[in-house]
Amino acid sequence: MTNSNFLITIIGPTAIGKTALSIALAQHFGCEIISCDSRQFYKEMKIGTAVPTEQELKAAPHHFIQNKSIFENYSVGDFEREAIVKLDELFKKNNIQIMVGGSGLYVDAILKGFDDFPDIDPTIREEIKKEFDLNGLNYLHNKLKELDPIYFEKISAENPQTLQNPQRMMRFVEVCLGTEKPYSSFLNQKKNKRNFIPIVIGLEAEREIMYNRINRRVDLMLEDGLLNEAKNLFPNKQLNALQTVGYRELFDYFEGKTSLEFAIEEIKKNTRRFAKRQLTWFMRTENVMWFDFKTDVNEIITQINQKTKQPN
């Protein structure tokens, strides 16, 4: 039997217009939206993660928006399991659904599935955690360099923010120690089967336009109260969820390390860098239909209909 479910996935750098397009498509196809933005999950982080407005959320049903707390441990694996269950449910109502977000790893988790890792003795994780508590990220970096130098170089070049994520780094080291094999040896195995055909839409813009949109978004976040939001989160600044552009820079300001003006410029600069990394990641994604961010939605719908064989 031919698979007739389609997951329209909208990717692209931050502030490019993915939310607006996802809503327009959801309204056209009468379907719902799965968010795969790894920071919009957290209900305490509304302004700094550019969560869709109340009006946007009412315009189409959304899932995985502000559904978790920063105090919960929520991994990309957890998201994969929950999102696949939700998609199975949604496909019973409509054979077209939409996923949108700028978190490349989370997009890949849904479109491709994860590599299969063996179970690891939990005492190994406990020992790694003790070493991390004593020696910090340097311990994890040095251990991964020793046990899997190829993978360490890969993430350093392609996804450097991962090096600042203790949970991810502990997982890499845990797999190396628990299996006595490099973490990278488990990658690119046969992936999980999916009950949908992905249609991937990419939005892009000239670099200067993209950067101007990012700068403007940061200004709007500050007007909307980002400073107060960050101030309320400051006592919990050590949490993994808060190791995020837009908050880290303001935490430095609250600690007296920088001026407010410098912190704001750092947010803009680091968001621009983040957008460049997003584009690098997404450019490796297969079979993307790229559109200029100003493309009329009807043109995009026509291209989608050709893929799904739907009448225009």
Q: Where are the domains of the chain?
A: 6-114+191-308, 122-186
Q: With bands split at pLDDT 50, 70 and 90, how would you rate the model's confidence at 1?
A: very low
Asked which of 57-66, 67-76, 139-148, 223-232 is least confident by mean pLDDT, the reply is 67-76
Q: Is the per-residue pLDDT at 99 higher than 90?
A: yes
Q: With bands split at pLDDT 50, 70 and 90, how would you rate the model's confidence at 119?
A: confident
pTM to 2 decimals?
0.79
Q: What confidence score (pLDDT) does residue 3 get?
A: 61
Torsion, Cα of 229, 233, 238, 244 (10° steps): -20
Q: Is 182 annotated as a binding residue?
A: no
Tens digits of residue pLDDT in 155-202: 988 878 889 889 889 999 999 999 899 998 888 665 578 999 999 999
Tens digits of residue pLDDT in 271-307: 999 999 899 889 888 899 999 999 999 999 999 999 9
Q: Is 198 annotated as a binding residue?
A: no
Alpha carbon distance, N-terminus to C-terminus of the chain: 25
Q: What confidence score (pLDDT) does residue 54 get?
A: 95
d(CA 169, CA 136): 11
Q: Is 15 annotated as a binding residue?
A: yes
79 φ, ψ to 5°?
A: -60, -45
Tens digits of residue pLDDT in 195-239: 999 999 999 999 999 999 999 999 999 999 999 999 999 999 999
Average pLDDT, the chain: 92
Three-class SS string for 289-302? EEEECCCCHHHHHH
Q: Is 77 annotated as a binding residue?
A: no
Shared fold status for 6-114+191-308 and 122-186:
no
Q: Which residues pair with 150 in a beta bridge?
A: none
The dihedral through the CA atoms of 193, 194, 199, 204 has a sign that is negative
Task: Specify the CATH number of the domain 6-114+191-308.
Answer: 3.40.50.300
252 φ, ψ to 5°?
A: -60, -40
Q: Considering only CA atoms, which of 93, 87, 86 is closest in space to residue 30?
A: 93
Q: Is 12 annotated as a binding residue?
A: yes
User: Mean pLDDT, to the nearest integer, of 102-117?
Assistant: 85
**In a 10 Å sphere around its CB, with 0-12 CB exposed, 13-18 middle and 19+ buried, how is residue 160 labelled?**
exposed
Domain 122-186 has CATH 1.10.1060: no
Q: What confidence score (pLDDT) does residue 311 get?
A: 65
The dihedral through the CA atoms of 94, 192, 241, 118 has a sign that is positive
DSSP code, position 163: G
Q: Is 13 annotated as a binding residue?
A: yes
d(CA 56, CA 42): 18
Q: Is 17 annotated as a binding residue?
A: yes
User: Mean pLDDT, to the nearest integer, of 91-99?
Assistant: 97
